[in-house]
Structure 1
Amino acid sequence: MLSQLFNWIFATAIFIISINVSVAKDVSANDNDGKSLVLSGKVSSLEGETIPFANIMVVGTVKGTYTNLDGTFQIYDLPDGEYTVKVSAVGYKTFTRYVQVINGQLSELNLIFEEVGVEMPQFTVIASKDRVFSRVPGSVTYIDAKEIKTVNPLSGNEVLRRSPGVHVVDEEGVGMRANIGIRGLDPDRSRSILVLEDGVPVALAPYGEPELYYTPVMDRMSGVEILKGSGQVLFGPQTIGGVVNYITANPPQEEEGAIYIQGGQGGFFTGMVNYGNTFGNTGIQANLLKKRADNVGPTEFDITDFNTKFLFNLNEKSELGLKLGLYNEISNSTYIGINQVMFDRGGEDFTRMAPDDRLEVKRYSMSLSHKYRINKHVRLRTIAYGYTTTRNWSRQDFSINQTNTPPANWTGVVWGDREIPGGAVFMRDGTGNRNRQFEVAGIEPRLEIDHKLFNTQNELIVGTRYLYERAFEQRVNGTRAGVKSGNLVEDEVRTGHAISAYAQNKIEITKKADLNIGVRFENFDYERDIRRRNFAGIGIRDTVLIAGNVINEIIPGIGFNVRPTSTVNVFGGVHRGYAPPRTKDAITAMGDVLDLEAERSVNYEFGLRTEPTRWLFIEATGFLMDFSNQIIPVAESAGGIGFGVVNAGATLHRGVESAMVFDISNLFGMSRIKVTYDLNATVLRSTFSADRFINDVNINGNRTPYSPEWFVNSAITIQTNSGFGLRLAGNFVGNQFADELNSIEPSVNGRIGLIPSYKVFDAVFSYDISKWNSRFNFSIKNLTDERFITSRRPQGIRVGIPRFITAGYEFRF
């Protein structure tokens, strides 16, 4: 399968190249000089500082580029005419210049940013947002707003897959709860990575319960940053796999806005309105999103998402940002999936076995961010935040047994096949209502100091972070199906206080080499207060069971970034991975403190990025993550029984992730059409690396669950000056195991067994009409209607959504 995959990719690339050779010849014939350099120049600040990675766009065409490390740029193959050049860079006000191309003669431009734009003082992962040669010590990906719009995602998972090394498992097909695994780590509920929105954590409880039951909606994002490697030392608490930071739009300098609507099959609808402007010293950006569907795969949902940002330019030294958010979701999410019998006979992939299951998620958030420039060399950034999340989930009880005997409180509804032992699923006349409310508050001041220790340029970042979290959890058992009230059987409160302190110094050894040395200290003090539970042989009783623990950890890291030429970037590093144990796992329901250590690893990486020509970009990173102790979760979402985890011992994750962008239009001198082919591929081996026995079987050397040996994302993108756009994308995933024993034969209940490899193709058509300020799109997801298993957990098989068609319209003002 792997060889067939790469043969397909190679053949597709050759096919596209051969098609566009003839196109390029036609274009060249019309434009006299098909490969001539017509625009070049240099971008700098008013003080004379060169600006690398500034974005240069020729308005109304597909032509554009980024400035090099020395601030220079080149644009090729423009026919004669008058053009508007738009110049933008992070931290500066966007401006335009008019140029004229006559007889294909070279025009040189010296472009100077005269003013610095006022920005939201929020924390970001990749400070310079550069596309290729970041100074961050580690593998990074920045997916911008243009790329998100080109993907036109039904699910945000489609965007995250554009980064090498990132494997995302679909749960319900629309990405309401992302399951992100980086470099072979278990993707369940994204527990092994740190997920942020504008630098603020989004997990239920970042330390004690880092599950992603709320995932920022990709539709309203202006970018996504993904960081792997030693640059993670500044962030926390989860710093094993990587950091994913969703970025929302900031208040613009001038009035702008958009209205977007999209509809599709199964009652799918997205409506979004955003508006931004600056009034004197105050900027505002507001976004309202409504998203719903009656039948997308197995899911119906209704989401309302409102966010607004205020930017206050207090004085020449400081800015204050305020962000408010409201999220409300009701969906028929469920844990129960179809069994193997139902999958094998087909036609029941999206049967709603528990149609009354309901998940309600409400999230209210507020954050304040402040930047103060003490002097030109010292800056103080501070962010303070608080949010509450209510996650109430009503799920119908069911029963499975080998003799297919109906339970006493059976509703009469049965799924599967009663003729096959264990092949029937009996729906019971009762519910388990898992009601949880979370409170999180934190503050983080960060000092950035430019200094010249040992007569070299240095940037020191020191900061501290305090985070408070509290979880209120109750379980109410209903005596009838679909009932949300009933008997209170569990009641508890979990509380955590975390203090983190960090320092990282970046040393500019030469103009072409940086060394980053960092360390972080983590202290997590947590407590579990059990107030009501079911005691064996006694029954349900009120109780007072309180236990706590304290975990301390030091997380060092070192990384380097070398730029031997303006087209080559070599980077690497080593850091300690860290994740505290979930509070529910570390303290039992009887109040016993388990000897459950923090999750620790030593992570190495070495990589290369290069753009040897104006039409080719290549990146490759080798990585190794060596776990001395990896915690295997037994939460129900991971297919476990919800309690009793143990230290799972050593695991080893190693592999190579790579990316390539091939600009075919630049290669062949096309001036009215832009054609690119890109590919990111990851090959990895994630295994248990120490003796551990399950059912008397030593799993040392077995692959860890839900870690495919390879996955590839590839796309061909065509854009024309007339506004037409086409994206053909393919996502390819190798086979995976669903359990530690690496069982190949599936169980009757569908929860273990091999998950076969699969491939999914998408097509997105767009047409931009500039004079109408409008854009139309038409998307076909799963173009070939591939039928495939995405997951066998938590309680049965999840099947990927079938072919799905949407159409949308955007009006900009």
Structure 2
Amino acid sequence: MKYNKITLLIASACLYSQLANGEQTQESYVEHIQILGTHDKLRTQGGATSLIGEEALAQFEFDDINKVLANVPGVNIREEDGYGLRPNIGFRGTTPERSKKISLMEDGILISPAPYSAPSAYYFPMVSRMTAVEIFKGPAAIKYGPNTVAGALNLVTRAVPKYAETGIDLAYGSDNYNKAHLHHGNSSGKFGYLIEGLHTQADGFKNIDFSKQDTGFEKNDIMTKLKYDLSQDNQAHYLELKLAYADETSNETYLGLTDQDFADSPYRRYAATSEDRMNWDHQTYQLTHFIELAEFNVLTRLYRHDFARDWRKISSLGQNAPALLEVLTAPDDPENQEYYARLNGSESGDIILGTNDRNYRSQGLQTDLGWQFELSGLQHNVDLGLRLHKDYINRDHFEQTYQMSSQGQLGQASEKTFTTVNREEATAVSIYAQDAIQIEQLTLTAGVRGEYIDSRYQNRKNDNDWLEKESRIWLPSLSAFYRLSADYGVFAGVHKGYVPSSPQQNDQSVEAEQSINYEIGFRQNHKNLKTEFALFYNDYSNLKESCTFSQSSNCPLDTDFNGGNVNVAGLESQVASVLSINTSIDMPWSFTYSYIYSEFEQSFDSDYPQWGLVTKGDSMPYQPEHSLALSLGLRATDWQLSAQIKYTSEMQETAGAGAVLSGKLIPSTTMVDLSANYLLTNEQSIYLKIDNVTDETQIVSRRPNGARPGKPRTLILGYKFNY
């Protein structure tokens, strides 16, 4: 933990709080950082949307965004480390790999380390400090590019409170898990402030051969918001400065197990992974200005995110050795036996550790304007937006050779050999315009998004090896919502999806990803029953994928691949209600079901490891055909019990028959989580949560190198104080 930076943030907030005096501010500004308003009983925008509010987030006290999204239809997830440190999230059948196909935002601002240059989200904000999670799919996502095929995920941080507010959350659990989460804020006169700090850690649930080293993590996150209120005549007007710092050290690896070793001891790690470790730190600087005029409101944000990381992990077993995945897939092959023994520390030999040292910067200016007016008897709600954005990634990857002893110990490292030294950068101008027209019971919304991207790749080992690219595209959308009554209505929409190609992609035959996406649905909010059903169809003119180390080491990093025409269709459904058991006990419940079908429209042989030899009609990988979630609870005045049951059908790990993992499947899983809360006083409560109640042991992934497990049964006891 970088105490000097964190101390500066705390000190700045404390100094600001001493300046605050006078009467309370007149307006909270939650609605300006949260896109989906809670006041709209029946949301009338086209496109399927979901809002997970603060109460729902607190119900299970999940630290893992994968579990938070379990009740959201149309979300496909590939788990990895059991804690959700680096999530893999996709919507409506898009690849979940490093969440690179969704527009990932915090408070409406792109938060991926380099959203245009290198969109893979190796950084993900801690969901424990969020007060809402918003999901946009279909035409509803057209405002939040650049990636518009799948949709957008917005994480909402805590707002500066109107009055003095203090919260403490302390927890301890299995594998020495502990959490300390504190926040305090106040507004007085024109000044307001918020200080929030979060620390989580665990020793991990895996055991390394010949080692007592833990396999867990330690994360720290602190945020300060300083607000100055300029409001006059009941018109909101304010300035806000947001500063945040986060860091992580996690003893994580990409190396899994053979299927037989997994069956014998799923929480084992080979001796070769004893030095695998991720370190990163992240800084946020954001200045926000909001003003509300008679018919206009303008939200302008100047932002910058800095992210630096180095991840040391085993990359190979020597220059002429077979690939790690090949060794783990066939460890009994005579050509692989020696290398398998080296991995588990029973024989000596070379172990190559690669450190992927990278630093990123993402910065820009974003202005969003809302305009409401009446023209020719029709009500118009116009949204306009402009974003000037620049980001880059610098890679300084190197390898070092270690000598594995026959007792499973790694010796001294050799000198560094740099393998990848390059820079990718992008400058983007994004604009959007959207008009929602109210025609009696019909809300008709037409929009368009423009992306103007200039990108550059530079091999920093060779000044003559560089590439510049230009991308220009317009993305239209059209949606409609028809209110059948005050409580329910139908919606439909169509929009163009787009994902830009890599800046270093020199092959002109590799195209950007483009699709035409359709949806039709039904939405209801009647008394205490809420439902939403949506049918969608995504028609890809070209599916694009890019190689990352999280998928495989058997393809060049960031190389793009064409998948051609692909069709993805599905059903999303969600029903939620509250039943009254008696005068003092309620039973809230919800049910979510998703169905996804996909097929390639042509046969081809691809070097992309998750495709391989594709035959027309093959399905896309890491797409469960069926997934459902059931949430049940009992709620009284001073206590609450909740259960969440999530079923995911089996998933293919490759589309075709030519890849190493041909025929391998991720088995279906059923995960049960429980939580209980008890109110001690109006300000104090305790909670108990049990994740994976049945202690199910399952393979969550074989990517990139071998079988890896999910988290075992975990018990956590916590205490909360809120004043």
Same fold (TM over 0.5): yes
Q: In structure 2, what residue type is equivalent to 1:608? A: F
Contact preservation (8 Å) 1:404, 1:418? no
1:602 aligns with 2:522: no
Q: CA RMSD in A?
A: 2.7
Q: How does 1:363-512 map to 2 (within 5 A)?
A: 363-373=282-292, 375-399=293-317, 418=332, 422=336, 425=340, 426-427=342-343, 428-480=350-402, 483=413, 486-510=416-440, 512=441
C-alpha change, 1:501 and 1:662, in structure 2 (3 Å) is: closer
Contact kept, 8 Å, 2:45 with 2:443, in 1: the verdict is: no
Does 1:519 pair with 2:448? Answer: yes
2:634 to 710, 718, 730: 718
Amino acid at match of 1:802: P
Q: SS at 2:560's partner residue?
A: coil
Change (3 A) 1:468 1:402: closer
Residue type at the aligned position of 1:439: R
Residues 1:617 and 1:450: Cα distance change in structure 2 (over 3 Å)? closer
Q: C-alpha displacement at 1:791, in angstroms?
A: 1.2
- Aligned partner of 1:657 in structure 2 is 572
Match of 1:789 in 2: 699
> 1:726 is matched by which residue type in structure 2?
L
- The answer for the alignment partner of 1:559 in structure 2 is 479
Show the counterpart of 2:14: none
Counterpart check, 1:309 vs 2:239: no
**Equivalent residue, structure 2, for 1:26:** none
User: Partners of 1:214 and 1:751 in 2: how far apart?
Assistant: 31
- Given candidates 641, 644, 659, the residue that maps to 2:555 is 641
Counterpart CA distance in 1 for 2:58 and 2:623 is 29
Q: How far apart are the structure 2 equivalents of 1:742 and 1:760?
A: 30
Specify which of 38, 54, 60 is matched with residue 145 of structure 1. Answer: 54
User: One-letter code of the match for 1:795?
Assistant: N
Residue in 2 that maps onto 1:624: 537
Counterparts of 1:489 and 1:618, CA distance in 2? 53
How far residue 369 of structure 1 moved from its aligned partner, in angstroms, is 1.4
**1:514: Cα distance to partner?**
0.9
Percent identity between the two aligned chains: 25
Contact 2:593–2:626 (CA<8 Å) still a contact in 1? yes
Alignment partner of 2:602 out of 673, 690, 712: 690
Amino acid at match of 1:302: E
Q: Are 1:235 and 2:164 an aligned pair?
A: no
- Inter-partner Cα distance in structure 2 for 1:727 and 1:124: 26
> CA deviation digits over 1:417-449, x for unaligned, max 9?
557764653343332111110111111122222
8 A contact 1:229–1:242 mirrored in 2? yes
Matches within 5 A, 1:105-144: 117-119=27-29, 122-126=32-36, 128-129=37-38, 133-144=42-53
Q: Is the 8 A contact 1:226 1:242 kept in 2?
A: yes
Match of 2:279 among 360, 382, 385: 360
Which amino acid is the alignment partner of residue 517 of structure 1? Answer: A
Q: Whole-Å Cα distance in 2 between the matches of residues 457 and 136 of structure 1?
A: 14
- List gaps (5 residues or longer) in structure 2: 1-23, 208-214, 344-349, 403-409
Q: For 1:754 and 1:405, locate their aligned partners in 2 and report how far apart those are by CA, in whole Å.
A: 20
Paired residues for 1:242-391 under 5 Å: 242-297=151-206, 299-316=215-232, 317=235, 318-349=237-268, 353-373=272-292, 375-391=293-309
Task: Map 1:650-799 onto structure 2 (within 5 A).
Answer: 650-665=565-580, 670-693=582-605, 697-721=613-637, 723-741=638-656, 753-771=664-682, 773-799=683-709
In the TM superposition, what is the alpha-carbon distance from 1:691 to its structure 2 partner? 3.1
Give the secondary structure class of the aligned counterpart of 2:561: coil
1:20 aligned partner: none
Distance of aligned partners of 1:186 and 1:752 in 2 relative to their CA distance in 1, 3 Å threshold: farther
Number of matched pairs: 666
State the shift of 1:296 in Å: 3.5
Cα contact 2:613–2:657 (8 A) shared by 1: no
* Helix, strand or coil at the partner of 2:623: coil
Instruction: Point out the more displaced range, 733-742 or 694-703.
Output: 694-703
Q: How far does the alpha carbon of each residue in 1:99-153 deviate from its partner, in whole angstroms, 9 at most, with x for none?
A: xxxxxxxxxxxxxxx9962416845432x23575212221111000110110221
* Contact map agreement 2:25 2:190 (CA 8 A) in 1: no
Partner AA of 2:229 in structure 1: N
- CA change 1:625–1:416 in 2 (3 A) is closer
Shift of 1:165: 1.0
Structure 2: distance between partners of 1:403 and 1:463: 53
How far the C-alpha of 1:689 sits from its partner, in A, is 2.2
Of 525, 531, 548, 2:468 maps to 548
SS in 2 for 1:638: coil
The CA deviation at 1:218 is 1.1
For 2:510, give the aligned amino acid.
L
Q: 1:583 to 1:649 in 2, by over 3 A?
A: same
Q: Secondary structure at the match of 1:234?
A: helix
Provide the rounded CA distance (Å) in 1 between the counterparts of 2:323 and 2:45: 60
One-letter code aligned to 2:539: D
Q: Which of the two has higher C-alpha Rg?
A: 1
Deviations 1:213-264 (A, max 9, x none): 1111111110101011112121111111111000011011111111111111
Distance (whole Å) between structure 2 residues aligned to residue 439 and residue 172 of structure 1: 26
- Give distance in 1, aligned partners of 2:697 and 2:112: 31
Alignment check: 8 A CA contact 2:614 2:657 kept: no
Name the CA distance, whole Å, in 2 between partners of 1:329 and 1:213: 12
Question: Are 2:722 and 1:809 aligned?
Answer: no
Mapped partners of 2:59, 2:688: distance in 1: 11
**Residues 183-234 of structure 1, C-alpha deviation per residue, up to 9 Å, x if partnerless?**
1111110011011011111112111211111111111110101011112121
Shift of 1:568: 0.5
Partner of 1:7: none
Residue 529 of structure 1 is matched in structure 2 by 458
- CA offset at residue 524 of structure 1? 0.8
Residues 347-356 or 285-294, more deviating: 347-356
TM-score computed with the length of structure 2 as normaliser: 0.87
TM-score by length of 1: 0.78
d(CA) in 1 for partners of 2:302, 2:642: 40
Aligned residue for 1:800? Answer: 710
For residues 27-106 of structure 1, the aligned pairs below 5 Å read none
Contact 2:401–2:414 (CA under 8 A) maintained in structure 1: no
Counterpart CA distance in 2 for 1:659 and 1:288 is: 34
CA contact (8 A) 1:172 1:297 kept: no
Aligned partner of residue 142 in structure 2, secondary structure: helix
Corresponding position of 1:29: none
Letter in 2 for 1:759: T
Deviation at 1:485, TM superposition (A): 6.2
Q: 1:756 to 1:764 in 2, by over 3 A?
A: same
Instruction: Give the C-alpha shift of residue 606 in structure 1.
Output: 0.9
